[in-house]
Structure 1
Amino acid sequence: MTAQAQIGSEQVFRKIIAHAKEYGFVFPSSEIYDGLQAVYDYGQYGAELKNNIKRLWWQSMTQLNENVVGIDAAIFMHPLTWKASGHVDSFSDPMIDNRDSKKRYRADNLIEDKADAYEAEGQPERAATLRSRMNALLSAEDLTGVRDLILEEGITCPLSGTANWTEVRQFNLMFSTQMGSVADEASEIYLRPETAQGIFVNFLNVQKTGRMKIPFGIAQIGKAFRNEIVARQFIFRMREFEQMEMQYFIRPGEEMNWYEHWKETRLRWHRALGLPESKLRYHDHEKLAHYANAAVDIEFEFPFGFKEIEGIHSRTDFDLKNHQELSRKKLQYFDEEIKESYIPYVVETSVGADRLFLAVLCQAYTEETVEDGEKTKERTYLKLHPALAPVKAAILPLVRKDGLPEKAQAIYDDLKLDFKVIYEEKAAIGKRYTRQDLIGTPFCIAVDYQTLEDNTVTIRHRDTTEQERVPIAELRDRIGRAVSFRSVFEQL
């Protein structure tokens, strides 16, 4: 990417962030108190869009796969859970401070940004070498070497412009709190940094009560919390976020076959949502997490570059084995087919709901120049997949008199039983169309004087702005076909 193109992408991203706030998708949390860094609230349309994304993922997992079921585990878990998972000892990031600006950074992020800059300058080999050196130092836990690499590369603080860095230190990312009615008797517990462990500790509960046979999966959607040193890029990296995870339990030795299966399945799912193939790619991990023997990210090309939206990991038997050892409870499965007991291996698919929301929003944000008679004008709209759109249709009476509002209200009252629809009568019809375009509503239904004569309405299609006349009796079927999850499922 050239420097000019990078500036253009940054400007587009700023527009998307502004659009998200102005039109009710995402607000800074506690904004009246000047906000809370890296914490955001979803507005009325953002909540609908995010819920649609989560419902689509949930049904894709638990409805289309007869051997995948879902649970909803608690956020609070016994503290030993995080000892067994390795989070107490290993869940940390390398932290470095700039003495002049007094700002704190993740050391690996500073180096990654430098590598991205090399790629933007047309030096991919230099970027790859830099990343390789960084990964080797992090794997060896050589924090002094990481600092030396930062100095060697001439990496400076974005605020102060100096390289007056402290030593690199490890910073645990878990939030801790106390549980107990009396402070002196309170015991330390953690806000979960991932949702996966709630699945692992319930492995046998689900397997026995559901009479599940391996291979089978357990899915979950839930909040997780990480005390990120530096959170950035809007909702891409937050301290409170939501994960959509599925752990797939399999026989030892079969993990790589299932790893490839879910790797391909999940990429196909993202394409079905409307994310173009040209903006999706795999990124294999060079530095593996402590629990994995293989890992790949599905990355989407945001305006700020390719970044992870989902990870597929072969977790081996790390989690169940450690929980068995620490809890002293047997977490084995007896396989009737081979007459053996074993601790299952696991392949994980883990999607960041907030990151996917941001990817969908970035892809949907559309600016185009359109002809308006002899003039041209700029048009902005959200080209959301109809199944994900916060509002499926807007019912708009042409004028606020002569019985048109009453007729439009009757259509609204009927359609709201099946779809998320809205009724709006204020302002000129053109302005109302524009408002719906800006929140991604795929259909606008105009009620006019002809409607009173023959019970037909005009449907305006968001993407093309084309209009067609249809009977009121056909509205439910027409809208239903377009917004149904079935259109996504058929591509899977």
Structure 2
Amino acid sequence: SKYNVGLDSAILMNPETWVASGHVGGFSDPLMDCKACNTRHRADQLIEEATKGAVNPAGWSNQEMEKYIKENGITCPNCGKSDFTEIRKFDLMFKTHIGVIENDKSVVYLRPETAQGIFVNFKNILRTTRKKLPFGIAQIGKSFRNEITPGNFIFRTREFEQMELEFFCKPGEDLEWYDYWKKYCFDFVLSLGVNPEKLRLREHSPEELSHYSKGTSDIEYLFPFGWGELWGIADRTDFDLTRHSEHSGERLEYLDPVTNERYIPYCIEPSVGVERLFLTIFCDSYEEEVLDNGETREVLHLHPFLAPIKVAVLPLVKKLEDKALEIYDELRKDFMADYDTSGNIGRRYRRQDAIGTPFCVTIDFDTLEDGTVTVRDRDTMSQVRVKVSELKEYLAERLKF
């Protein structure tokens, strides 16, 4: 984007970063123990999972969650009993030490988000890139959270990849950009081929909003285990830059070249977990299709652009391998290609369907006669004859994003 620049900040940062941001002492989950089997659970997740996402306890107090669990007889997913301790805070940050002496002065934290690395580098990036508002700083990297109950495959893990953008704008223009990024992110997910009937954009209620947020929305997907957050978009106002400025004594203002006034920019934050995005695409793409002959075909309906292998080259019989390898060597100059000779042609088609390969190119005896190949479409299983000389162009047109 013409607006945005990239950054790769440190995973282990000065611990004062997390004091300034409010994470130290404030980044925690509501923990409950099951008295019957001694397992630990997040109170909000107990409610969400018991109601299959119909009830969202975000913004509830501990007392409200305890009351709801008791009144609705929510049970322990491990033993089935409803006998929990009172809620207490559970710190989500991983703590470690640097250097040879382990004491309070050597404490550092594995970052629980990538965003703070952007905020503390705001002034540096503003100076070196000479960017004018509005502009964004984007980062992809590892984050770590000591989750009480990781689960649902890769939906909730303790180590995960985040993609975050902090988009800075003039105060007063933030709601306009907030709406822009909500639409942009939602349209992006749709462009990946995700079923729109399983997507929703949910605006947070006033009770759910953080004290500093003017607006927060979640793009949610209907997973097999219920609705789950995929992508969050938040109007964080000037909260983060102000906190870091106050804590460090460093001025993090922007000098407006038009009005010549100084102010701390407002910030819009789209934040998505790579694993959750992958899980969304995987769940949405996978199908066990029952064919007319009664057989079941496993197929991954990935958007062609996302498919790890774009095309598979399959010689019909062994004596056609020389020609098939010639075509394969040419195709792999431009595409991620696979070459497979094991098993009959039907079995090879099925293997490629299962890993989402959008096109299979079959070399048969007609290829030697007229210079054409059979191109099979993964989703429709339809087959067309294409000239070898036009094959790259044919595939490129159908693989573009």
TM-score, with structure 1 as normaliser: 0.78
Shift of 1:281: 0.9
| Shift in Å, 1:479 | 1.5
2:238–2:265 CA contact under 8 A, matched in 1: yes
Residue aligning to 1:426: 342
Note the residue ranges of structure 1 that are not aligned, 5 or more in a row: 1-64, 120-126, 486-492
Identify the match of residue 257 of structure 1 among 145, 157, 176: 176
Q: Deviations over 1:460-487 (max 9, x none)?
A: 11011111111112121121122223xx
Greater displacement, 377-386 / 158-167: 158-167
Matched to 1:333, the amino acid is: Y
Give SS of 2:182's match: helix
Counterpart mapping for 1:19-418 below 5 A? 65-116=1-52, 119=54, 127=55, 131=56, 134-135=57-58, 137-138=60-61, 143-183=62-102, 187-286=106-205, 287-371=208-292, 375-401=293-319, 404-418=320-334
SS of 1:322's partner is: helix
> Structure 1, residues 338-361: CA drift from partner, whole Å, max 9, x if none?
211111100011111111101101
Aligned to 1:57: none
Q: Is the 8 A contact 2:310 2:359 kept in 1?
A: yes
Q: Distance in 2 between the 1:79 and 1:202 partners?
A: 15
Partner SS state of residue 52, structure 2: helix
Q: Which letter maps to 2:201?
A: Y
Give me the whole-angstrom Cα distance separating, in 2, the residues matched to 1:339 and 1:218: 23
Alignment partners' CA distance in 2, 1:341 and 1:370: 66
Q: CA deviation at 1:136?
A: 5.9
Structure 2 counterpart SS, 1:380: strand
Q: Distance in 2 between matches of 1:338 and 1:184?
A: 49
Q: Is the 8 A contact 2:73 2:82 kept in 1?
A: yes
The amino acid of 1:348's aligned partner reads E
- Name which of structure 1's ranges 222-231 and 361-370 shifts more when overlaid on structure 2: 361-370
| Residues in 2 aligned to 1:170 and 1:185: alpha-carbon distance in whole angstroms | 21
- Looking at structure 1, the residues matched to 121 and 104 of structure 2 have their Cα atoms a distance apart, in angstroms, of 28
SS, match of residue 156 in structure 1: coil
Cα-Cα RMSD: 1.7
Runs of 4+ aligned structure 1 residues displaced above 6 Å come to: none
In the alignment, which residue of structure 2 is the partner of 1:483?
399
Work out the CA distance in 2 between the residues paired with 1:466 and 1:166: 59
Alpha-carbon distance between aligned partners in 2 of 1:381 and 1:276, rounded to the nearest angstrom: 16
- Alpha-carbon displacement from aligned partner over 1:183-230 (angstroms, at most 9, x marks no partner): 469711111111111111111222221110000011111111111101
Any idea what the Cα deviations from partners look like across 1:102-146, whole Å, max 9, x if unmatched?
Answer: 1100011112233438x5xxxxxxx5xxx5xx55642xxxx3453
Q: Distance in 2 between matches of 1:389 and 1:465?
A: 17
For 1:148 and 1:477, locate their aligned partners in 2 and report how far apart those are by CA, in whole Å. Answer: 63
Aligned residues of 1:446 and 1:458 also touching (Cα < 8 A): yes
- Compared CA separation, residues 158 and 195, structure 1 to 2 (3 A): same
Identity of aligned residues (%): 50
Deviation string, structure 1 residues 421-480 (Cα, Å, up to 9, x no partner) = 111111111111100000000000111222222322111110111111111121211211
Distance in structure 1 (CA, Å) of the matches to 2:59 and 2:162: 29
* Cα distance change of structure 1 residues 390 and 136 upon mapping to structure 2, 3 Å threshold: closer
Does the residue aligned with 2:247 lie in a helix, a strand or coil? helix
Deviations for 1:43-78, whole angstroms, at most 9, x for unmatched residues? xxxxxxxxxxxxxxxxxxxxxx21111112221111
Whether the aligned pair in 2 keeps the contact of 1:180 and 1:186 (CA below 8 Å) is: no
Q: 1:268 to 1:144 in 2, by over 3 A?
A: closer
Is the 8 Å Cα contact of residues 231 and 270 (structure 2) preserved in structure 1? yes
Distance in 2 separating the partners of 1:416 and 1:231: 39
State the secondary structure of the residue aligned to 2:244. helix
Structure-1 separation of matches of 2:137 and 2:275: 21
CA distance in 2, matches of 1:188, 1:259: 36
Amino acid at match of 1:385: H
Cα distance, 1:321 vs. partner? 0.8
Q: Give the TM-score normalised by the residue count of structure 2.
A: 0.95
| Gapped regions of structure 2 (runs ≥ 5) | none
Instruction: State the secondary structure of the residue aligned to 1:90.
Output: coil
Q: Would you say the 8 A contact 2:52–2:227 is kept in 1?
A: no
One-letter amino acid of the structure 1 residue matched with residue 295 of structure 2: K
Superimposed CA distance per residue, residues 222-251 of structure 1 (whole angstroms, 9 cap, x where no aligned partner): 111111101121111111111111111001
The amino acid that maps onto 2:45 is: N
Q: How many Å separate the matches in 2 of 1:377 and 1:414? A: 35
Corresponding residue pairs, total: 399
* Counterpart residue identity of residue 298, structure 1: I
Give 3-state SS (helix, strand or coil) of 1:116's partner: coil
Residues 1:449 and 2:376 are matched in the alignment? no
The answer on whether the counterparts of 2:254 and 2:264 sit within 8 Å (CA) in structure 1 is yes
Q: Partner residue of 2:352?
A: 436
Distance in 2, Cα, partners of 1:412 & 1:340: 61
| 8 A contact 1:301–1:307 mirrored in 2 | yes
